[in-house]
Structure 1
Amino acid sequence: MVQTLSRRNLLSLAAAAGMAPVLTGEARAATGLQFGPARAFSYEDLKAMARERAGKPYVAPPRPNPEIVARIDYDNHGKLRFNKDFALFGTGPGAYPVTFQHVGQYFPKTVRMHALANGQAREILYDNSYFTIQPDHPAAKLPAEPSAFAGLWLQEARSRDWKKDEPWATWLGASYFRAVGELGQVGLSARGIALSPGQGPGPEEFPDFVAFWVETAEKETDPVTLYALLDGPSLTGAYRFQCRRTSGVIMDIEATLNFRARVTQLGVAPLTSMYWYSETTTSRTTDWRPEVHDSDGLAIWTGAGERIWRPLNNPPRTMTSSFVDHGPRGFGLLQRDREFLHYLDGVKYEKRPSAWVEPLGDWGRGAVQIVELPTDDEIHDNIVAMWVPEEASAAGSSREYRYRLHWLADEPTPTPLARVVATRLGRGGQPGQPRPPGVRKFLIEFKGGPLANLPKGVIPEPVLSASRGSFGDYKYTEAVPNDVPGHWRTQFDLKVEGSDPVEMRCYLKVGDQVASETWLYQYHPQA
């Protein structure tokens, strides 16, 4: 228990996380890695260390020679290959080897790495011989101290050809991490925490995972357990990740946060993705591909049981939207469009994973919040989705959160209602007649659920609302003429003046019964 933690163990753990190691002279392990001395470690120890650190002024993680690291650009970083003969757990024990990543221009801060077994942790001591570094490469000139580790990979099981397979999860840069989905691709990222992303006026704060402790999984069905220490100017955190390799990846995450400063915009379980454009806009003057995005919508399962689909936007300016809730059942950034012909790209956008946050326990009052930033290219992650608690976090306070993060192709528990599969915009009015100014046509496609078994002649009814403007007389709902059961679309016109955003809402009903999830959309008239 934290109350009985000895001062000696706490100081030993702190030294292992943030100070130069004490070399023991012991021979290299069977994997070839070099280790520091063994120190007692538990999650309670880590939480106590994070709490003590929060009571002291913030000290940034060490940075190996900045001039040298600045020369390890994107191309040079790609040339740094970890030699998998040195992989932690590469020859056992356990099922999943672990490999490491090097600092570089975009990941300049040191991250301490530890192997954990039987309650004893040993730091993995950096040696540039772990990486394939050519003599003329900038990294060849880095000294052994401070460590030049920046992140880690979880490799596929040793029962497979794991040295050739891609890793299934990675932690790299600030508190970012990501995993592979069911379709064999990586895409969007998660973060340990987000602090006022996109809110301004100053730069966003990005706390770092400054140390990891890795405990192997004995069998492939067991979780790999990672412990992580988070540190930043405003808070510290102790994290436990229990990561299971399934058809995709499932992570059970526990986080204990300790606040150095008051935080008004705390982003819990944040997800970060890229959305450039989709079927809602035309790409003819932008790019040759029909759509470019890692995620196409935000899905929410509210505490009251409502299912919401909010298509993403590439807005003309930074926009923040909040969906107030109490005890949310889940939310996620999803990639629903799985048709190759909708992308035509060899990077396989149609196979990008969806990430779904399942809160464990009552998260209380707050809001699922989405921040959308404008972008003119696919290289920028411009979407953040997160849970924001209603109450600010006071300096000196602590909070705990538990949640399950699913990296899959879809939501782990999809709605039984019809789901939105496309949102299309066009000119308002009717063909063959003058198109009225300030009128936009919307077409929403729904598929599945109760729509798949409608009696002949029954037509679903759209229920519409908008924060401003008016709907025209033209409203039309029909089965999509593609002979796919349960595939329907509804069309309507919206007349609106000015350039302020319009918040729109639509769902289908059959009689008195709700037949679809709720479509929410933020329309920018001049975009």
Structure 2
Amino acid sequence: MVIRKSPAYAILTALICTVVLVFAAPVLTQSQPSGATSPTGTDSSTGSAEPERLTHQFSRQWLLERARSLAEQPFELPALDEDNPLNELDYDEYRRISFDPYAAIWARQDRNFTLDLFHPGFLYTTPVNINLVVGGVSRQVLYTTDIFRYEEGISDVENFDAQGYSGFRVYHPINTPDRFEEFLVFQGASYFRGTAKDQFYGLSARGLAINTARPEGEEFPYFTDFWIERPEVGAEKIVIHALLDSPSTTGAFRFDIRPGDSTVMDVEASLFPREEMT
């Protein structure tokens, strides 16, 4: 995907570098030892009192095998508990929950990118697992309400576990070298959107659309898990991996994203259908 600078608006054109349809086959197994990092995914340990965190070796091949294995299993979309008050938040209430900027991932590591996390609730009731990859090792970002600010009147939602976030956004000094600004968002189903220098958000893109405008109804796949590679100091590119799941298919996605005058996203997607797709 390329978002090109334009005098009036951002022009989005889809660029699929590699799309591979692969049918389910036996999967390789890999052990997943436990480990610990801080709640926002920084590299420092907070000690034995922190809950156990999923840690494992990560690679593109590992994600392909996981997607292939998942396609052999019945589809089951994670969701908040029915009695969780986050399900009942309306638009205005949801907007009264904000991420604490002092908790931004990589904010104090002198890198060209930082991350904010989105709170679950309102329309976003599917918990999403966020993982950070450093040196080929993935570490889960544990869900915590400590990194959010709750305005008066909605503080009760802090007491309910959500088992995951609803997405994330990425910041980069895209317009001026001394100010980090939001340029990329992944949130809701398989939706994502980006912007280029001196531009504003336009339409969102989707990882996959199935049965669009069909009488039986459209199917909305979800990105259920993300693995975000920590960029090297000075790097101008960020790499994001995602696991997609839906009743019809699973998928392993890789996004190579380079923000700037033209923000370029190279997308590689491998799909593993659960059933015949036409």
Coarse TM-score class (shorter-chain normalised): 0.7 to 0.9
Deviation at 1:32, TM superposition (A): 9.6
Residue among 109, 117, 125 paired with 2:134: 117
The CA deviation at 1:137 is 0.7
How big is the shift at 1:71?
2.3
CA offset digits 1:118-137 (Å, max 9, x no partner): 00000000110111013631
State TM-score, norm by structure 2.
0.79
Partner of 1:160: 178
Deviations 1:379-436 (A, max 9, x none): xxxxxxxxxxxxxxxxxxxxxxxxxxxxxxxxxxxxxxxxxxxxxxxxxxxxxxxxxx
Separation (CA, whole Å) in 2 of partners of 1:175 and 1:27: 27
> Could you say which residue in structure 1 is the equivalent of 2:273?
259
Q: Distance in 1 between matches of 2:45 and 2:194?
A: 27
What is aligned with 1:245?
259
User: How is 1:102-501 mapped onto 2 (pairs within 5 angstroms)?
Assistant: 102-134=119-151, 136-137=153-154, 140-147=157-164, 149-157=165-173, 160-162=178-180, 165=181, 167-200=182-215, 202-219=216-233, 222-264=236-278
The answer as to whether partners of 1:69 and 1:139 remain within 8 angstroms in 2 is no
Deviation at 1:64, TM superposition (A): 4.5
Identical columns (%):
26
Letter in 2 for 1:7: T
Q: Structure 2: which 5+ runs fail to align?
A: 1-24
Counterpart contact for 2:84–2:160, Cα < 8 Å: no
**Does structure 1 residue 50 correspond to structure 2 residue 67?**
yes
**Cα gap change, 1:63/1:203 in structure 2, threshold over 3 Å: closer, same or farther?**
farther
**What is the aligned counterpart of 1:96 among 98, 113, 129?**
113
Contact persistence 1:168–1:180 (CA under 8 A):
yes
State the distance in 1 between where 2:99 and 2:93 align.
13
Rate the CA distance shift 1:238–1:139 in 2: closer, same or farther, 3 A: farther
Deviations 1:307-358 (A, max 9, x none): xxxxxxxxxxxxxxxxxxxxxxxxxxxxxxxxxxxxxxxxxxxxxxxxxxxx
User: Offset at 1:7?
Assistant: 1.7
Task: In structure 1, give the amino acid aligned to 2:29.
Answer: R
Native 8 Å contact 1:235 1:260 kept in 2: yes
> For residue 91 of structure 2, what is the amino acid of its counterpart?
Y
Q: How many residues align?
A: 246
Q: 1:73 to 1:27 in 2, by over 3 A?
A: closer
Name structure 1 gaps, 5 residues minimum: 14-21, 265-527
Q: Which residue in 1 is equivalent to 2:78?
A: 61
Amino acid of the structure 2 residue aligned with 1:187: G
In structure 1, distance between residues paired with 2:29 and 2:223: 23
State the secondary structure of the residue aligned to 2:141.
strand
Greater RCO, CA 8 A, separation 6+: 2
* SS of structure 1 residue aligned to 2:30: helix
